Amino acid sequence: MIFELNGVNVIAELTTTVTLLDLLRTDFGLTSVKKGCEQGECGACTVLLDGMPVCSCLVLAPQVEGKRVTTIEGLSENPLMKELRDAFMENGAVQCGFCTPGMLLSSFALLRDNRHPTEDEVKVAIEGNICRCTGYVKIIEAILDAAEKISPD
Amino acid sequence: MRTLTGITLLKTHTLVGALEILSTLDKVQPIAGGTDLIPLIREVESKSTHFIDIYSIKELNGIYEESDSIIIGSTTTHSQLLSSKTVSEKIPALHDACSLIGSIQIRNRGTIGGNLCNASPAADSAPPLLVHDAEVNVSSLSKNQWMPLEEFFKGPKISALKSDELLIGIKVPISGNGCSAFKRIGRRKSFTLSIVNAAAFVERDGDSIKNLRLSIGSVAPTPLRMKKVEKEFIGSKLNHQTLTEIGQACSGQVNPIDDVRGTAEYRRDISSVLIKRALIEAWSRTGGK
Ligand SMILES: Cc1cc2nc3c(=O)[nH]c(=O)nc-3n(C[C@H](O)[C@H](O)[C@H](O)COP(=O)(O)OP(=O)(O)OC[C@H]3O[C@@H](n4cnc5c(N)ncnc54)[C@H](O)[C@@H]3O)c2cc1C
Ligand code: FES
Ligand code: FES
């Protein structure tokens, strides 16, 4: 099976049926994609599928044939992602970090499509990402901060 | 890495291809967004050995406005429905429901067809579609039929689908100048199955109810239409007293159970509250006070 992973066409040898989450972690070593609940509840496994956040634990690997999969590794040089990363660090929005890759991807998708989100829109965007550590306040502040930096008006 | 035991995923890009596979192979089940199925196959040993991926069949996806109805393909996602102007204007209760389902990740993947075929009594798209008198198209290689959505639900997690059939699409008639609304109560806001959900459709004639359709979910083995109550109150004026009476009449029609998400008594009480809230919202959307 061929699909696009972080901007590069890759081949996956699928001998058995696994989830996209397992494929990314095991075959491609992308351990930023975290395995939490495997029930679609926690969002730690969030990836962008054709640009949209989905839980990779709820996608079967063969279902991404011909599609575009993006993890934070693929956005490391992206200006918007850099802004978000900085804002997360500056605002103390990271504690253990387990939720962070998923949070970054969900907030990236938000700010890509909506440069001036309200606090409520930020909350909706990260509703599917559970954080056990921060209590969300600093994460929300970080996302609003990044939004301000990318369009300062 | 965990292998999903004994599961193979079959792929096809055409509807006919999918129907052929369903009619020839044993133990094959359709998979769309997988948001209901995949957690399930992890928990219990799935009875299916093959899944047929219907997500990539283009014919099954999309929202089409016709002269007297709106057609929704079965693999249309909750996110697609949420961003559709046709849906927010013509089927507002469905727009409400889609905004409350799961999280963005779930809405980007989960489909309206999967929500209905899973046949959960708590499915959030059911009450909105029921009050809009929706019909569903069920097809196999040899048969293609429309049936009222009400007849599609047979019991908890049981639909009218046979093993060789697919839900193709949903038809929502465009009805006069009525409006609808949907309300739900869940453990947290969004992101969990509803404890109770309710939808109301109302057409207004001054301060009187010209047409009324009500539905409540998660209070019986299937989502329910409140036809007896509807009949009783068509023609009445809508005021505090009739609202209270409609709420009471509805809670008399439901047949809830106790479970981890809520007790039967709570469900009965809350169904009256929710149906009133949905009706008030639908009424105000028609411009009524
Ligand atoms: C974290 C989480 C939160 C959720 N929150 C909600 C919520 O708030 N409200 C709610 O109602 N639901 C919720 N759900 C349930 C689920 O997301 C929805 O029911 C979704 O719409 C299912 O669609 P799917 O495409 O993912 O279905 P799938 O999992 O692909 O399929 C579900 C069932 O339908 C069958 N099927 C699917 N499509 C067809 C078809 N066209 N023809 C015949 N059979 C078909 C499958 O064989 C399977 O039995 C949630 C799920 C998760 C994991
Ligand atoms: S691991 Fe996928 S949502 Fe929790
Ligand atoms: S920082 Fe620990 S889970 Fe969010």
Residue A123, domain CATH: 1.10.150.120
Angle at A84 (CA atoms; ends A82, A86), nearest 5 degrees: 70
Ligand 3 pocket: which residues have CB below 6 Å? A 94-99, 131-134
CATH of the domain at A62: 3.10.20.30
Quick one: CA torsion of B232, B236, B238, B239, rounded to 10 degrees? -100
Of the pLDDT bands very low, low, confident and very high (cuts 50, 70, 90), residue A137 is: very high
Residue with tokens 């989502």: B223
* Of B34, B102, B103, Cβ closest to residue A60: B34
Of the pLDDT bands very low, low, confident and very high (cuts 50, 70, 90), residue A152 is: confident
Mark which of A50, A73, A96 sits at the end of a domain: A73
Q: Which of chain A's residues have a Cβ under 8 Å away from the Cβ of B7?
A: 17
Mark which of A40, A73, A106 sits at the end of a domain: A73
Buried b (16+ CB within 10 A) or exposed e, B115-130: bbbbbbbbbbbbbbbb
Say how many domains are in chain A: 2
pTM, full prediction = 0.96
Please tell me if residue A151 touches chain B, with a CB cutoff of 8 Å: no
Q: What's the domain range around A128?
A: 77-150
Q: What's the domain range around B270?
A: 178-286
Q: Which of chain A's residues have a Cβ under 8 Å away from the Cβ of B9?
A: 17, 60, 62-63
Residues A55 and A85 grouped into a single domain: no
Q: Which residue of chain A is at minimal alpha-carbon distance from B38?
A: A58
Percent of chain A with pLDDT over 90: 94
Residues A7 and A69 grouped into a single domain: yes
Please tell me if residue A63 touches chain B, with a CB cutoff of 8 Å: yes
Mark which of A31, A51, A73 sits at the end of a domain: A73
Mark which of B173, B198, B229 sits at the end of a domain: B173
Residues A66 and A121 grouped into a single domain: no
Residues A52 and A91 grouped into a single domain: no
Residues B69 and B157 grouped into a single domain: yes
Q: Tens-digit pLDDT profile for chain B (289 aa)?
A: 566 666 789 999 999 999 999 999 988 999 999 999 998 887 666 566 789 999 999 999 999 999 999 999 999 999 999 999 999 999 999 999 999 999 999 999 999 999 999 999 999 999 999 999 999 999 999 999 999 999 999 999 999 999 999 999 999 999 788 999 999 987 554 445 678 999 999 999 999 999 999 999 999 999 999 999 999 999 999 999 999 999 999 999 998 888 877 788 888 999 999 999 999 999 999 998 8
Express each pLDDT in A41-83 by its tens digit: 999 999 999 999 999 999 999 999 999 999 999 999 999 999 9
Please tell me if residue A57 touches chain B, with a CB cutoff of 8 Å: yes
Residues A81 and A145 grouped into a single domain: yes
Would the CB atoms of B105 and A128 count as touching at under 8 Å? yes
Mutate to test the interface with A, among B48, B75, B105, B106 (most CBs of A within 10 A): B105
Residues B191 and B158 grouped into a single domain: no
- Asked if residue B163 is part of any domain, the answer here is yes
Residues A68 and A82 grouped into a single domain: no
Q: Which of chain A's residues have a Cβ under 8 Å away from the Cβ of B38?
A: 19, 40, 57-60
CATH of the domain at B228: 3.30.390.50
A24 lines ligand 2 (CB under 6 A): no
* Residue among B98, B113, B104, B108 at smallest CA distance from B31: B113
String of DSSP letters for A109-151: HHHHH-SS--HHHHHHHTTT---SSS-SHHHHHHHHHHHHHHS
Residues A27 and A6 grouped into a single domain: yes
Residues B160 and B234 grouped into a single domain: no
How high is the pLDDT of residue A86? 98
- Asked if residue B215 is part of any domain, the answer here is yes
Q: Which of chain A's residues have a Cβ under 8 Å away from the Cβ of B55?
A: 63
Q: Is the pLDDT of residue A92 over 90?
A: yes
Which residue is closest in CA terms to ligand 1's atom 40? B167
Residues A36 and A83 grouped into a single domain: no
Residues A50 and A87 grouped into a single domain: no
CA distances from B122 to A87, A103, B38, B47, B97 (A): 40, 29, 18, 23, 12
- Asked if residue B238 is part of any domain, the answer here is yes
Residues B103 and B200 grouped into a single domain: no
- Asked if residue B3 is part of any domain, the answer here is no
Residues A68 and A86 grouped into a single domain: no
Ligand closest to the CA atom of residue B195: 1
Say how many domains are in chain B: 3
* Of A17, A52, A58, Cβ closest to residue B7: A17
Quick check: B211 and B176 in contact, CB under 8 A?
yes
Whether the ipTM is more than 0.95: the answer is yes
Query: How far apart, in whole angstroms, are the C-alpha atoms of residue B85 and residue B100?
Result: 17
A130 lines ligand 2 (CB under 6 A): no
Residues A65 and A114 grouped into a single domain: no
Mark which of B154, B173, B192 sits at the end of a domain: B173
Residues B124 and B156 grouped into a single domain: yes
CATH of the domain at B66: 3.30.465.10
How high is the pLDDT of residue B258? 81
Q: Are strands A2-5 and A68-70 parallel, antiparallel or unpaired?
A: parallel
How high is the pLDDT of residue B5? 60
- Asked if residue B65 is part of any domain, the answer here is yes
Query: How far apart, in whole angstroms, are the C-alpha atoms of residue B13 and residue B185?
Result: 38
In a 3-state reduction of DSSP, which class is residue A78?
coil
Tokens representing A94 are 């990271």
Residues A24 and A6 grouped into a single domain: yes
